[in-house]
């Protein structure tokens, strides 16, 4: 028998074994009579995702189909199985009441070969608990007040750049506002996380902006390798597999190293996140942060901060352009508060913009930037009031976007109604019915900062400009199926007119 024949037999055998393994794996929920949608070989329930379907769609379909039948349904993430929670009481148990049994996210990270992956969002177990304890004091309302003036300063530069842009040349097809807002939030995070002027407002090709985009849209490996990394993390670490592209990792590590060395050498103090991390570097009752840990936390603060806030602001302005009466009501509230504080945007004044806050909250309901929340079961968990078991190591998914569009919770969910967030309406809803930042001990640690920069951006823009919809932007919104987070396909173009 030739070498080629032996190789062919081995290959066929391996393919047959893999086929049998996957097919058997895909019978898991059927054997246990757990509601699910029949999977497709290799793809599971994700075949259309990334092609003509956004990530939120299969979970929305599953939620609608099985919500009335069971507290959770089965789902196949390619070759990996998961359960999708359909009951709000069960969701509360997973996120809050029984958090200790679901405290892990199960995300892949590799601190040795990819130090930027060792950030708070990815870490699990004692490492996560210690890092969360270290970082929690950095996001108090007091610390937000500490960084407020920095965000306002960048916001005022944003207004001036936009005015200059409108004066230089007419924007006949409108302005692509999402990219412009991403440049604003990039400069905000650059100042607050790294203490650097990124200059992306004036230079769209600034290094921070291009690397930020690449970090969010590009992975070092393809789709199936990423699925393998998530399914087999220990093997992947031994193989040295990494998520972030090498040039992105090298760039951010270099920036952090130079910033830390300069500040420590010159004893520089600034009102920013980096300064807070440097204080944590000096042991304060706990082990101090290493350079790699500072880099990883700064990196995730940058990624989470610029993308989510810029998208939420863009969607809010889109809705206000469609609903002119709401835009004018928001603007009048802004002007009334500014007048009260001598036309200066203050931290106290920002908290008085109650209607604008409702606009932002409704935006985060209708447009769930992160459409799902992921947890991992640490024990065999029996669902209260049933015989159903969520097995140890099972991936648990909370379909945030589906909940936010449930007509039983939010009547006419596709309509934009800020009044949904009046106090009386909030009190009538389940506590788990609005989850843009997650809930419980593992909620988004930076939620205060995210709200802060979004509110400052919207306040300054509404005070200086009118917004109307460009014909280039569709109504209703069309979403990009290739984007993991919720993003408009082709951008959001708005006509912008300066208020004299």
Q: Please state the residue numbers annotated as binding site for heme.
A: 444
Strands of the 465-469 sheet, one edge to the other: 175-176, 493-498, 465-469
Residue identified by tokens 């985009």 is: 213
Binding-site annotation: residue ranges: 444
Reading the block at residue 206, the tokens are 């600034």
Residue 70 to residue 77: CA distance in whole angstroms: 20
Q: How far is residue 366's CA from residue 362's CA, in Å, rounded to a whole number? A: 6
User: Which letter does DSSP use for residue 44 in this model?
Assistant: B
Q: How many CB atoms lie within 10 A of CB 58?
A: 23
Residue 390, SS3?
A: strand
Strands 493-498 and 175-176: antiparallel
Residues whose CB is less than 8 angstroms from the CB of residue 267 and which lie 6 or more positions away in sequence, other chains included? none
Cβ atoms of 117 and 432 closer than 8 Å: no
Phi-psi region of 41 (alpha: psi -120 to 50; beta: other; left: phi over 0): beta
Q: Kindly tell me the burial class for residue 14, based on how many C-beta atoms sit within 10 Å of its own C-beta (0-12, 13-18, 19 or more).
A: exposed
SS3 37: coil
With residues binned 3-state (H G I as helix, E B as strand, rest as coil), the percentages for the chain, rounded to 5, are 55, 10, 35
* Residue 88 contacts residue 400 (beta carbons within 8 Å): no
282 alpha carbon, distance to own chain's centre: 30
Residue 192: exposure state from Cβ atoms within 10 A (0-12, 13-18, ≥19): buried
CA distance 326 to 355: 9
Residues in CB range of 378: below 8 A, 6 or more apart: 100, 101, 102, 103, 104, 392
Residue pair 276/138 in contact (Cβ under 8 Å)? The answer is: yes
What does the alpha-carbon distance between residue 23 and residue 27 come to, in Å, rounded to a whole number?
7
State the CB neighbour count (10 A cutoff) for residue 471.
Answer: 10
């Amino acid at each position: 028998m030739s070498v080629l024949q032996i190789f062919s037999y081995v290959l066929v055998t391996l393919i047959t074994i893999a086929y049998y393994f996957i097919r058997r794996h895909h019978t898991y929920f059927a054997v246990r009579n757990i509601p699910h949608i029949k999977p497709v070989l290799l793809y599971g329930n994700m075949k259309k995702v990334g092609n003509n379907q956004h990530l939120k769609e299969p979970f929305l379909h599953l939620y609608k189909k099985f919500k009335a039948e069971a507290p959770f349904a089965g789902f196949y993430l390619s070759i990996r199985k998961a359960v999708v929670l359909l009951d709000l009481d069960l969701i509360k148990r997973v996120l809050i009441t029984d958090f200790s049994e679901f405290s892990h996210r199960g995300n892949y990270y590799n601190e040795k070969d990819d130090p930027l992956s060792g950030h708070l969002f990815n870490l699990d177990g004692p490492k996560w608990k210690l890092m969360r304890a270290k970082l929690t004091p950095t996001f108090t309302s007091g610390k937000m007040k500490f960084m407020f003036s920095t965000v306002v300063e960048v916001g005022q530069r944003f207004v001036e750049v936009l005015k200059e842009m409108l004066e230089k040349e007419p924007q006949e097809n409108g302005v692509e506002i999402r990219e412009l807002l991403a440049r604003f939030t990039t400069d905000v995070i650059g100042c607050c996380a790294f203490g650097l002027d990124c200059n992306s407002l004036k230079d769209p090709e600034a290094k921070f902006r291009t690397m930020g985009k690449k970090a969010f849209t590009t992975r070092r490996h393809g789709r199936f390798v990423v699925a393998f990394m998530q399914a087999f993390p220990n093997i992947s670490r031994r193989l040295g597999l990494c998520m972030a592209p090498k040039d992105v990792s090298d760039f951010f590590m270099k920036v952090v190293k130079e910033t830390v060395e300069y500040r420590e050498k010159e004893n520089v103090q600034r009102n920013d996140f980096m300064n807070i991390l440097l204080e944590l570097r000096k042991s304060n009752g706990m082990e101090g942060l290493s350079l790699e840990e500072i880099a990883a936390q700064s990196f995730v603060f940058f990624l989470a901060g610029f993308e989510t806030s810029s998208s939420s602001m863009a969607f809010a302005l889109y809705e206000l352009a469609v609903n002119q009466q709401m835009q004018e009501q928001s603007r009048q509230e802004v002007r009334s508060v500014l007048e009260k504080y001598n036309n200066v945007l203050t931290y106290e004044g920002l908290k008085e913009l109650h209607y604008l806050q409702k606009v932002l909250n409704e935006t985060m309901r209708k447009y769930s930037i992160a459409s799902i929340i992921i947890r991992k079961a640490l024990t065999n968990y029996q669902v209260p009031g049933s015989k159903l078991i969520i097995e140890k190591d099972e991936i648990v998914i909370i379909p945030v976007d589906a909940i936010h569009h449930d007509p039983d919770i939010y009547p006419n969910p596709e309509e934009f109604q800020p009044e949904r967030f009046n106090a009386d309406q909030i009190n009538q809803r389940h506590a788990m019915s609005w989850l843009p930042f997650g809930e419980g001990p593992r909620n988004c640690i930076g939620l205060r900062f995210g709200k802060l920069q979004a509110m400052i951006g919207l306040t300054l823009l509404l005070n200086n400009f009118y917004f109307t919809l460009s014909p280039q932007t569709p109504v209703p919104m069309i979403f990009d199926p290739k984007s993991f987070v919720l993003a408009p396909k082709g951008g959001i173009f708005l006509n912008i007119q300066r208020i004299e």
